[in-house]
């Protein structure tokens, strides 16, 4: 028995075509133009001209921070981070982490994200939340260095334990990455141990890189070397690697990233909001790098709507470089789908509507006024699409959300718990 | 008999307070915190914690271009304009203008805009559409120069006629401005005549200014002067003036604009999309200039959601100047409301919730997941608000839209007509 979404505008080969998607269990069985062949046991949903496309992929997030969004607005970055965020993150209980990540996941599900990367701690809690939500997730225990070697050792041990336990869990819905927080927050010795762990476990690495000018100065002062040559010397780039931000890069840095095929998580909204800067994305694309999209945590965004990130990526660089031909809408949509999959080393699993891929897809209404006229469907979706246009979200062939209703999460309870916990944190 | 919106989060003095708004006819009668006094004949709507704020003001638009959105995506600016837009604009019939502006107005109404400025031609058609929609509008007959003096004379005559006929019409819902298209598209002689017309009619002027580097070069070549000193010498700045874009400004230009209290329509999305650049808004604010927001026509945006413009204004300059303290959410919300009113010379009429102002206001749901937790209502609205969160739109005390239903416009017919006409234009 197959489940067929019919009479859809289906995203095939960078364009929308009238057609259908057939799912069987957790897999995509067939994608085609026109009308499907329907077997006697097949279930057919007529989606009446709605867009059907791969679920969006958010490649950089810290979901429990959702409880902190709106705190310290307008403060300078250093004070926001040191006086507002860090003291409150230190207060987050396991229950806070649980309800914070559930709020984030509910928000992602209803705005069309099917896969997210979470860099945080207490991953056993986040794992339980992902089990419940039905999303696909890449979990990475973010490790910040410590003066105390036993603290670092405990973090490494924890990262190893959760990685062994969860990699491939929930029928493959969970994969793991190893995550040093950043070059400026980990010592060389700690970074080496982390790289070694990733090698021992055969897992990719994800880290923050070149988000702010300040962090690059910190490393330079400490190591008497620029950050990227320093990380190259440590062997980081020999690991499969996803870096978040990549805002401040020299010519040579860019060459290095391209040479090692480092995957990029472009977080345009967060980079703007925190005053970090604007990443040189068109140049990185010219060099052949894989550019995916991330929201970062809600405290610096302040939401998880990847349509907004897509639109920002499509608009920002045209204006910055004064060239309207940069980042075509097709390119922006690819960033949020196929490139997102590649950034998470899941390019053979998700990010594309084709036989043999996991059935992770979203159904988006195309009948709102901003979609009229339909001269260019991809442009309409990228420039006018909003998370609120999402009608349905499917992961592994399972419907998680349909027309305003969550099928896996109790959003009333989540709202209640989040409000309650946020009060204490304020 | 008054109409009371109660149990709202009401925007008073730059913050949201639990309170109410009382309307009587087309006017705001009372705004207060806590619970209202309810008379026996009053109608009370309990909006259950929704935001109530002044209707958003879009200070730069060309609404009939809605039929062209999505055409020529990714083309360089010159080709997009000359080969895609202009030939098709020349094809627009009066009926096209009518249905195009109605589509734009329906979209604005449902995304929370109550007042818009329209710079276009065939204003008698747009006037009829505004009469029908119930929106507040500032209409300006955009005049491009011609080699043929009789064409210019006819445009001036038309601008004069429509200005005399419509200024103050529909119980004041319509006001008029005089509009030379731009310094680069009008000769000195034509500009002088236009300025003279605005003086004779005692109407403000609106024009495009410093949108692209190219237009500044055109003027310099033609007049052997920089654009802004040239316009100053022509006496333009002695008129009450609203300029759209203001992207490329020298130090001296900025001083000039500030000295004359020129009102600015900041169009960040359009400026990015067309590759025009990023306006120096934080500096213009420091100089005391009034910064309002505009979407520009849909072909360069591609929508009329002012929440997006607000968010872009709040984010973009932080990133460009690498300073997270720039453009506080309060400032962005002011741009879309009170500053919008001032930019249109309507600051005593709209843009504020206070006794004696027109009852132009919107009701916005505050219960979506991105609004949880409510650490900072203004930040939640500016960074997370979407046009689709608008529950209700009121102009002159009249409900135009409520929970998905338009009360003045037949959106099915509009959709049908827009699609039909767009096909011919493609």
How confident is the model at residue B59, as a pLDDT? 99
Q: Is residue A411 part of a domain?
A: no
Closest-CA distance, B375 to chain A, in angstroms, reads: 5
How confident is the model at residue A390, as a pLDDT? 98
CATH code: domain of residue B25: 2.30.40.10
Among B317, B343, B369, the domain boundary falls at B343
Q: Considering its fold, how many domains does chain A have in total? A: 2
Among B318, B343, B368, the domain boundary falls at B343
Closest-CA distance, A59 to chain B, in angstroms, reads: 19
Clarify whether residues B269 and B338 are in a common domain. yes
State pLDDT tens for residues B401-413: 999 999 999 999 9
Clarify whether residues B303 and B362 are in a common domain. no
Clarify whether residues B208 and B293 are in a common domain. yes
Task: Give A95: exposed, middle or buried? Use CB within 10 Å, 0-12, 13-18, 19+.
Answer: exposed
Range of the domain at A17: 3-54+354-406
State pLDDT tens for residues A67-122: 999 999 999 888 998 999 999 999 999 999 999 999 999 999 999 999 999 999 99
Q: Is residue B321 part of a domain?
A: yes
Interface touch A370/B303, C-beta < 8 Å: yes
Which residue of B66, B73, B367 to mutate against A (max A Cβ within 10 Å)? B73
Angle CA A275–A278–A281, to nearest 5: 155
Clarify whether residues B172 and B265 are in a common domain. yes
Give A-chain residues touching B14 at CB under 8 angstroms: none
Q: Is residue B234 part of a domain?
A: yes
Interface touch A322/B277, C-beta < 8 Å: yes
Q: Is residue B414 part of a domain?
A: no
Among A299, A319, A343, the domain boundary falls at A343
Identity of the residue in A329, A372, A422 whose CB atom sits nearest the CB atom of B375: A422
Give A-chain residues touching B311 at CB under 8 angstroms: 308
Q: Which residue of A has its CA nearest to B268?
A: A319
Q: How many CA atoms lie within 13 A of B200 on its CB side?
A: 13
Closest-CA distance, B172 to chain A, in angstroms, reads: 28
Longest dimension (CA), chain B: 70
State pLDDT tens for residues A205-259: 999 999 999 999 999 999 999 999 999 999 999 999 999 999 999 999 999 999 9
Which residue of B276, B372, B376 to mutate against A (max A Cβ within 10 Å)? B372
Closest-CA distance, B26 to chain A, in angstroms, reads: 28
Closest CA to A366 of A6, A2, A8, A3: A8
Q: Is residue B424 part of a domain?
A: no
Clarify whether residues A38 and A69 are in a common domain. no
Clarify whether residues B12 and B112 are in a common domain. no
State pLDDT tens for residues B89-102: 999 999 999 999 99
Give A-chain residues touching B271 at CB under 8 angstroms: 319
Report the C-alpha gap between B145 and A216 in whole angstroms.
Answer: 53
Q: Is residue B422 part of a domain?
A: no
B361 near B396, Cβ under 8 Å? Answer: no
Q: Which residue of A has its CA nearest to B212?
A: A322
Torsion of CA B7, B9, B12, B14, to 10 degrees: 170
Which residue of B275, B295, B329, B371 to mutate against A (max A Cβ within 10 Å)? B275
Clarify whether residues A303 and A368 are in a common domain. no
Rounded average pLDDT per 10-residue block, chain B, 426 residues:
97 96 98 97 97 98 97 91 94 98 98 98 98 98 97 98 98 98 98 98 98 97 98 98 98 98 98 98 98 97 97 98 97 98 98 98 97 96 98 98 98 97 93
Cα dist from B187 to B194, B219, B234, B243, whole Å: 11, 10, 11, 18
Which residue of B67, B69, B267 to mutate against A (max A Cβ within 10 Å)? B69
Closest CA to A248 of B313, B420, B260, B322: B322
Identity of the residue in B74, B272, B367 whose CB atom sits nearest the CB atom of A319: B272
Task: Give B145: exposed, middle or buried? Use CB within 10 Å, 0-12, 13-18, 19+.
Answer: buried
Q: How far apart are the first and last CA of chain B?
A: 51
CATH code: domain of residue B222: 3.20.20.140
Clarify whether residues A35 and A118 are in a common domain. no
- The single-letter DSSP state of residue B112 is T
Clarify whether residues B358 and B300 are in a common domain. no
Closest-CA distance, A88 to chain B, in angstroms, reads: 13
State pLDDT tens for residues B123-155: 999 999 999 999 999 999 999 999 999 999 999
How confident is the model at residue B113, as a pLDDT? 99
Identity of the residue in B80, B373, B422 whose CB atom sits nearest the CB atom of A422: B373
| B406, β-bridge pairs | B401
Report the C-alpha gap between B23 and B3 in whole angstroms.
Answer: 5
Closest CA to A117 of A99, A136, A134: A136
Mean pLDDT of A282-292: 98
Identity of the residue in A68, A106, A319 whose CB atom sits nearest the CB atom of B275: A319
Clarify whether residues A370 and A259 are in a common domain. no
Give B-chain residues touching A388 at CB under 8 angstroms: 386, 388-389
State pLDDT tens for residues B290-300: 999 999 999 99
How confident is the model at residue A123, as a pLDDT? 98
How confident is the model at residue B389, as a pLDDT? 98
B313 near B281, Cβ under 8 Å? Answer: yes
Q: Is residue B420 part of a domain?
A: no
Computed on alpha carbons and rounded to an integer, the radius of gyration of chain B in Å comes to: 21
Clarify whether residues A164 and A66 are in a common domain. yes
Give B-chain residues touching A301 at CB under 8 angstroms: 383
Q: Is residue B173 part of a domain?
A: yes
SS3 assignment, position A41: coil
Identity of the residue in A67, A80, A328 whose CB atom sits nearest the CB atom of B324: A80
Element (H, E) at B113: strand B113-120
Closest-CA distance, B422 to chain A, in angstroms, reads: 6
Interface touch A273/B324, C-beta < 8 Å: yes
Report the C-alpha gap between B81 and B290 in whole angstroms.
Answer: 29
Element (H, E) at A87: helix A86-91
Clarify whether residues A42 and A139 are in a common domain. no
Interface touch A419/B67, C-beta < 8 Å: no
Which residues lie below 8 Å from residue A90, measured CB to CB, with a gap of 6+? none
């Amino acid at each position: 028995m197959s489940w067929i979404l019919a009479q859809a505008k289906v995203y095939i080969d960078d364009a929308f075509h009238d057609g259908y998607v057939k799912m069987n269990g957790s897999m995509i069985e067939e994608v085609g133009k026109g009308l499907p062949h329907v077997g006697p046991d097949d279930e057919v949903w007529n989606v009446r001209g709605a867009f059907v496309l791969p679920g969006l992929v958010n490649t950089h997030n810290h979901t429990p921070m959702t409880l902190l969004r709106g705190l310290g607005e307008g403060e300078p970055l250093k004070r926001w981070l040191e006086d507002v965020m860090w003291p409150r993150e230190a207060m987050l209980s396991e229950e806070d982490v649980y309800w914070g990540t559930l709020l984030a996941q509910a928000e992602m599900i209803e705005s069309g994200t099917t896969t997210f990367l979470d860099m945080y701690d207490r991953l056993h809690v986040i794992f339980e939340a992902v089990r419940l939500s039905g999303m696909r997730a890449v979990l990475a225990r973010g490790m910040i260095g410590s003066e105390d070697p036993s603290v670092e050792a405990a973090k490494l041990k924890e990262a190893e334990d959760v990685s062994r336990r969860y990699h491939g869990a929930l029928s493959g819905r969970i994969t793991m990455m190893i995550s040093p927080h950043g070059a400026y927050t980990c010592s060389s010795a700690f970074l080496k141990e982390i790289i070694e762990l990733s090698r021992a476990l055969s897992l990719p690495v994800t880290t923050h890189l070149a988000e702010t000018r300040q962090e690059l100065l910190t490393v330079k002062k400490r190591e008497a070397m620029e950050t990227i040559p320093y990380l190259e010397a440590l062997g980081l780039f020999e690991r499969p690697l996803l870096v978040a931000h990549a805002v401040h890069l020299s010519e040579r840095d860019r060459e290095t990233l391209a040479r090692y095929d480092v995957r990029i998580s472009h977080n345009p909204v967060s980079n703007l909001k925190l005053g970090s800067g604007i990443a040189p994305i068109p140049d990185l694309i010219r060099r052949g790098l894989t550019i995916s999209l991330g929201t970062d945590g809600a405290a610096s965004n302040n939401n998880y709507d990847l349509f907004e990130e897509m639109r920002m990526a499509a608009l920002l660089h045209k204006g910055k470089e004064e060239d309207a031909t940069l980042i075509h809408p097709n390119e922006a949509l690819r960033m949020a789908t196929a490139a997102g999959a590649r950034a998470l080393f899941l390019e053979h699993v998700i990010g594309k509507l084709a036989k043999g891929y996991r059935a992770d897809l979203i159904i988006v209404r195309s009948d709102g006024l901003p979609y009229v006229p339909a001269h260019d469907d991809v442009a309409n979706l990228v420039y006018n699409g909003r998370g609120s246009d999402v009608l349905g979200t499917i992961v592994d062939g399972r419907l998680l959300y349909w027309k305003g209703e969550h099928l896996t999460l109790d959003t009333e309870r989540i709202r209640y718990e989040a409000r309650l916990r946020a009060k204490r944190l304020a």
